[in-house]
Homo-oligomer: A and B are copies of this chain.
Amino acid sequence: MNPGLLFLTECIGVVAFALSGAAKAIDKDLDLFGIIVLGVTTASGGGVVRDLLLGVTPPAMFQNPVYAELALFTSLSMFLLVRYGFGSPYARRRLDRVIELCDAVGLGIFAVTGAHAAIAAGYGDNGFLAVFVGTLTGVGGGMLRDIMAREIPFVLTKNIYALAALAGAYLYYHLQAAGVSAAMTAGATLTFVIRLLAERFGWQLPRAHPKEPIPKKEEIL
């Protein structure tokens, strides 16, 4: 993939994830600093976890602050938009759709760039590591966001979210191992398409559906 194009798509992912973090913080009525912290955490968190697992210290976000700065300005813009004039329900619905679209783009981008980072760090022969780390890079920021906002992480409850990231990272890994030049594009696109289709058609993975609640241990022992 063209480096300039890669940088551009990474920036789209950062913006989308920062928007989703800032939107969550506004939803929780946090102040401006909380909005920025949650936006930057969501946009950077997956990459930091990835770099810690790969032993890349300090993590990439500190070696090139442009991503954190972009996340900061995105969060600030979201704050200003909601506070001054973008607060009508109609405007918010449009914004929500844009965020959802960007989020799917970001999920795909980060899943393949995460797997790429594992290969670049010299673990190209360990497909398990590359795919796992790619998936984690895609979903990690959103998990930190939800834990900090005191919610069950979205990735555990949202239909076909982590699975979409896993599929994209998996496809990317095997295509690049086969020398396909469009491996990144293909992997990111797969994640994006699965995610959008799952949302559109309400795809759900099965639940265990216990008919009554599991009895507490205290009642049995």
Contact = CB atoms under 8 A, between A and B. Distances in A.
A82 B208 CA distance: 6
Interface stretch (A85-93, A107-115, A172-180): A85-93
Nearest to A62: B129
B79 A208 contact: yes
Contact of A156 (B52, B148, B153, B210): B148
Interface in A187-221: 199, 204-215, 217, 220-221
A199 B150 CA distance: 25
Given A220-B96, A220-B97, A58 B123 contact: yes
Q: Determine how many copies of this chain the complex contains.
A: 3
A102 interface: no
A217 B25 CA distance: 16
7 contacts: A26-B208, A31-B157, A32-B206, A33-B160, A34-B157, A52-B57, A53-B62
